[in-house]
Amino acid sequence: MAAGAVGMSGSGGEDGSVLDVFVRKRFSATAGSPAATQETRFALDVRFALPAGVTILFGSSGAGKTTTLGAIAGLVAPDEGRIRLNDRVLYDSKAGIDVDVSRRSVGYVFQELALFPHLSVERNIGYGLRRLAKPERQRRTGEILESFRIGALRRRLAAELSGGERQRVALARALVTRPALLLLDEPLAALDAPIKGRLIDDLRAWNRARAIPILYVTHSREEVLALGERVLVLEAGRLLADGLPQEVLGAPRSETVAQLAGFENIFDAQVVALHEDSGTMTCRLVPPEPAAGRGVDLEAPLARLDSGAAVRVGIRAGDILLATEEPRGLSARNVLRGAVAGIEERDCQVLARVDCGITFSVLLTPGARRALGLVPGLPVWLIVKTHSCHLLRPAER
Amino acid sequence: MNWEALALTLRLSLFTAAALLVLGLPLAYWIAFSQRRWKFVLQAATSLPLVMPPTVLGFYLLVAFGSSSPLGRLWTAWTGHTLAFTFAGLVVGSILYSLPFAVQPLVNSFLAIDPKLIDASRVLGASRLATFFRVILPLSASGAATAVALSFAHTFGEFGVVLMVGGDIPGVTRTVSIGVFDLVEAGNYAAANTTSLVLLGVSFAILVMVYGWNRGAWPRAPWA
Amino acid sequence: MRSSQVLPENGPPRRARRALLSAAVLLLAWSAGGRSRAGYWGAGTAPLQAFFPTPGAGAARQATAKGAPAGELTISAAADLQFALRAVAEGFERKSGARVRLVLGSSGNLTEQIEHGAPYDLFFSADVEHPERLEREGLIVADSLFVYAEGHLVVFVPKGSPLDFGKQGLAALAEASVRKIAIANPRFAPYGRAAVEALEHAGLYPKLEPRLVLGEDVSQTTQFVVSGNAQAALTAESLMFAPGAQDRGRYWVVPPADYRPLAQAAAIVARSGKQPLARAFLAYLEAPAGQAVLARYGFARPEARR
């Protein structure tokens, strides 16, 4: 899969897409603007198409997510590219088209929300309706205040709102202008899960009638899985993957995506034997430092590789079983003997580090930890299913 | 106490402060938000009166107002008299002289505005001009007040420029500071002292106001 | 470009701090400007020098604060002496081997400086009143005060001016084309007082008063015409002999009978440590060589010694 061409099937619009984006922008250290310094290390180069409905743009911070949104909204000038929304070309470097920000009909909810601190909730929401006659403006403002359940707040200033209320106001302010596209930049990052869920439900309900594309930016794996919509994975300015969250994050084919998706165990390995009859191959995991251990052999799903090939193997900490006695009669091909090297408590999870010649991270519940009486030094067995061993394309250096 | 001079000085300060607010807003906007690489040159030029002796400014103004400069000839042809020795001439001089005192606070308060608010306004369909009046200006109220107060105070105590281009005409160009100068020159120390005290008092009161404002000593809008 | 990840937070405390800081910087700069404004004292002739370049004047002004070493004489002089006294000083330097520094200003201003202990050896005023004031205060050497010259009032007009003083006398100033007439401030400048007297003598004062603009001293008064802002100036004849002045305009000598004589007095400053050298300078000035130089710059020989 070539980076930068993800999701671009044919020319824009023929597949029913509503928004086509192609943006290239290089950041140089000498750009003069102090804001550019953090993003100087990469060039943004993305190409994708969106249908109506929610699409997630997922990536770590600094990956270029906000810059991508800025280019679509017209706040950031690309070096080259083309952006089409419905039948309007918003930007085309070749044709010299660059529609002004104020005329792009794009709704944008900023990460910082950017509510106007000197205006009441009502006037914040009415801000984008300046061109309408006053009665119409009031009608639409009232309507959206109702549907977002913030009518009681209409006279308050932004400083007098809770986090969830501010989020609602920001969303309402963007939607009341009836945009043809909605850009959401980590709009829910600061919210509790229940509030988040209700807000997303509100948004989905609102969009059922409108059917506009919504590009939802996040760096949170949990949010991606919770939303469950198509996800574009952006890293260092390039799109690395495109698909449903389960496909992209559950079985990542690139190490970067694996890291983003939360693969705690990623190892260098070498193919030592192919077993075509059983559909597996043996990979020898190489310790990070040669002196650290003897290495561990794992059965992984068969791939088109030659014996001796170098691969990377990723295993989720939550996909590994832990036993205090040697297990028998299992379908799992990999049973590794080791000892607990360390235990870390995180919120309501326990992360055990187990040394089997190579150190694995294993995730379990506090209850399981108590039942097994895990303490450092305890001999244990790790059980890893063949299909929990994901072969990864190494990260581009 | 020379009330005529005091009234004249107040009038001059008021005119200058008002004109500087009108001129300073677009200038400060450009300095704060322009992406031009050479904008620092304009920034430096705006700050020149901070370090330049007022006599130098006054001297060049006198030359510019005079019949040997095209500008002066144009003005004279248009109005029938030179800008020197007139109230309008003093206003022009004071505007240049107090320019940094209006522009700097404005630039600072513009730069203190979260740029996302400006982006938000633009995305919501507002033009740059509408954004200026609906977001930037209301959020810069404190900076604008500082700009007005400082340019008023600076003009109130102005001396060198007025001395150079004013011609010391009672009721037209004899400001309080010139009056003090005349009194000292004439050896009338008692009168000079009285007038100086008034000048000192007014200037101090304005600065107390500005500093108090910047420290939040007086109630104001929660966002300012 | 602006990127959300990069922008610092601009909370109210930060903004307040920034505003306060900027105000402080401005005020600092303002006080610096104030200092340079104070530096104007004694610098009243600077603009004129831009037109009539006289190298060395600035250096002379700076050196005064330090106090003159042996063989050096510091002379404070009224602005109308700018060129005449420099010429006299050059002759004196050649003859005596001593060095002379000139500090120029208005008579009132210099008097004040002497009252506050300025390190001058000699004081040349443009009038008699200021040295007499110092004499009463005991700040000048008793019996050293004498009238060294008499100044003359002239009308100075730009080169192309159509005014014909030869025919009309001062009445030519009543022409409509003369919109502004510069005079030195009569409240403290001797030539300003003389100008008012001359206008009153000609019966022109009530009519021309609205056209008057006041210069701090004769130098600035002259300069209002040179820069093209005033159409005529009543000023000191001595300034008409400045290098380049002839190219800038022409002048007409106001009849001396029309105003009280502009007697100019000099004296030795009491706290001067170089009284013998100062006396030598005065002697040189009174001798024919010195008087000839003064005459060349339009200073009539004083009719009577005091």
Strand partners, C262: C151
Q: In this predicted structure, what is the pLDDT of residue C296? A: 87
C107 and C136 belong to one structural domain = yes
SS3 B46: helix
Distance of CA C107 to the CA centre of its chain: 8
Quick one: what percent of chain C has pLDDT higher than 70? 75
**C251-285 residue pLDDT tens:** 999 999 999 989 999 999 999 989 999 999 999 99
Whether C80 has a pLDDT exceeding 60, the answer reads yes
Band of the pLDDT at C8, cuts 50, 70, 90? very low
Q: How far apart are CA A142 and CA A145, in angstroms?
A: 5
Q: How far is B84 from chain A (nearest CA, A)?
A: 43
C179 and C201 belong to one structural domain = yes
Residue C37 lies in a domain: no
Residues within 8 A of A (CB atoms), B 82-141 only: 114, 116-117, 119-127, 130, 134-135, 138-139
**B185 to C179: CB separation less than 8 angstroms, yes or no:** no
Positions of chain A with pLDDT under 50: 1-13, 30-39, 397
C166 and C208 belong to one structural domain = yes
A39 touches chain C (CB under 8 A): yes
Quick one: what percent of chain B has pLDDT higher than 90? 47
C252 and C274 belong to one structural domain = no
Q: How far is A261 from chain B (nearest CA, A)?
A: 30
C136 and C157 belong to one structural domain = no
Q: How far is A103 from chain B (nearest CA, A)?
A: 6
Q: How far apart are CA A102 and CA B130, in angstroms?
A: 11
Residues within 8 A of B (CB atoms), A 103-142 only: 103-104, 106-108, 110, 112, 114, 116-118, 127-128, 130-131
**A70 to C7: CB separation less than 8 angstroms, yes or no:** no
Residue C69 lies in a domain: yes
C158 and C146 belong to one structural domain = no
**A102 to B116: CB separation less than 8 angstroms, yes or no:** no
**C187 to B186: CB separation less than 8 angstroms, yes or no:** yes
Among positive and negative, which fits the CA dihedral B166, B167, B173, B178? positive
Average pLDDT on B214-223 reads 63
C142 and C289 belong to one structural domain = yes
Whether C2 has a pLDDT exceeding 90, the answer reads no
Q: How far apart are CA A296 and CA A301, in angstroms?
A: 16
Strand partners, A345: A350
Q: What is the CATH number of the domain that holds C166?
A: 3.40.190.10
**A173 to B124: CB separation less than 8 angstroms, yes or no:** yes
Average pLDDT on B90-107 reads 94
Q: Which domain holds residue C233?
A: 152-258
**C216 to B185: CB separation less than 8 angstroms, yes or no:** yes
Domain count, chain C: 2
Please report, for chain A, the start and end positions of each structural domain, with discontinuous segments joined by +: 19-260, 263-392
Residue A103 phi/psi, 5° resolution? Answer: -115, 20
C166 and C253 belong to one structural domain = yes
CATH number of A19-260: 3.40.50.300
**A110 to C6: CB separation less than 8 angstroms, yes or no:** no
Residue C230 lies in a domain: yes
Whether B104 has a pLDDT exceeding 90, the answer reads yes
- CB distance B61 to B165 below 8 Å: yes
Residue C286 lies in a domain: yes
Nearest CA in chain B to C224: B62
Band of the pLDDT at C53, cuts 50, 70, 90? very low
Q: Which residues of A touch B134 (CB under 8 A)?
A: 127
CA neighbours within 13 Å on the CB side: how many for A101? Answer: 21
A159 touches chain B (CB under 8 A): yes
CATH topology of domain A263-392: OB fold (Dihydrolipoamide Acetyltransferase, E2P) (2.40.50)
A201 touches chain B (CB under 8 A): no
Q: How far apart are CA C147 and CA C223, in angstroms?
A: 27
Q: How far is A264 from chain B (nearest CA, A)?
A: 36
Chains that touch C (3 or more CB pairs under 8 A): A, B
C157 and C254 belong to one structural domain = yes
**C179 to B186: CB separation less than 8 angstroms, yes or no:** no
Q: In this predicted structure, what is the pLDDT of residue C47? A: 36
Band of the pLDDT at B222, cuts 50, 70, 90? low
Placement of tokens 């609906």 in the chain: B134
Long-range pairs of A128-135 with CB within 8 A, sequence gap ≥ 24: A128/A173, A128/A174, A128/A176, A128/A177, A128/B124, A128/B125, A128/B126, A129/A176, A129/A177, A130/B125, A130/B126, A130/B130, A131/B125
**B122 to A130: CB separation less than 8 angstroms, yes or no:** no
Identify the weakest region by mean pLDDT among A129-143, A234-248, B21-35, C45-59. C45-59
Residue A275 phi/psi, 5° resolution? Answer: -120, 85
C241 and C177 belong to one structural domain = yes
Picking from B49, B67, B119, the nearest residue to C2 by CB comes out as B119
Q: How far is C51 from chain B (nearest CA, A)?
A: 11
**C4 to A75: CB separation less than 8 angstroms, yes or no:** no
Q: In this predicted structure, what is the pLDDT of residue C59? A: 37
Nearest CA in chain B to A158: B223
Whether C301 has a pLDDT exceeding 80, the answer reads no
Whether C45 has a pLDDT exceeding 70, the answer reads no
B71 touches chain C (CB under 8 A): no
pTM of the model: 0.70
Nearest CA in chain C to B181: C216
Q: Which two tokens stand for residue C147?
A: 């009238």
- CB distance C123 to C110 below 8 Å: yes
Picking from A112, A127, A157, the nearest residue to B124 by CB comes out as A127
Picking from B117, B122, B139, the nearest residue to A102 by CB comes out as B122
Mean pLDDT estimate for chain C: 78
* Listed residue (C72, C74, C80) closest to C105, CA to CA: C80
C39 touches chain B (CB under 8 A): yes
Residue C30 lies in a domain: no
Band of the pLDDT at C33, cuts 50, 70, 90? very low
Whether B120 has a pLDDT exceeding 80, the answer reads yes
CA distances from C138 to A110, C132, C133, C280 (A): 80, 10, 9, 22
**A117 to B222: CB separation less than 8 angstroms, yes or no:** yes
Q: Which of C14, C125, C213 to mutate to test the interface with B (most CBs of B within 10 A)?
A: C213
Helix (H) or strand (E) holding A214: strand A213-218
**B125 to A131: CB separation less than 8 angstroms, yes or no:** yes
Residue C237 lies in a domain: yes
Cβ-based neighbours of B43, under 8 Å, separated by 6 or more: B31
Q: In this predicted structure, what is the pLDDT of residue C304? A: 39
Residues within 8 A of C (CB atoms), B 151-170 only: 154, 157, 159-160, 163-165, 167-169
Placement of tokens 């009341």 in the chain: A176
Q: How far is B114 from chain C (nearest CA, A)?
A: 6
**A75 to B122: CB separation less than 8 angstroms, yes or no:** yes
Q: In this predicted structure, what is the pLDDT of residue A205? A: 82
Helix, strand, coil percentages for chain C (3-state, nearest 5): 50, 20, 35
Q: Which domains does chain B have, with CATH numbers?
A: 3-214 (1.10.3720.10)
C182 and C222 belong to one structural domain = yes
C177 and C211 belong to one structural domain = yes
Q: In this predicted structure, what is the pLDDT of residue C200? A: 96
Q: Which residues of C touch B113 (CB under 8 A)?
A: 10
Order of strands across the sheet that contains A88-92: A43-50, A19-26, A80-85, A88-92, A97-98
**C4 to A110: CB separation less than 8 angstroms, yes or no:** yes
Residue C127 lies in a domain: yes
A19-260 and A263-392: identical CATH topology: no
**C177-197 residue pLDDT tens:** 999 999 999 988 889 999 999
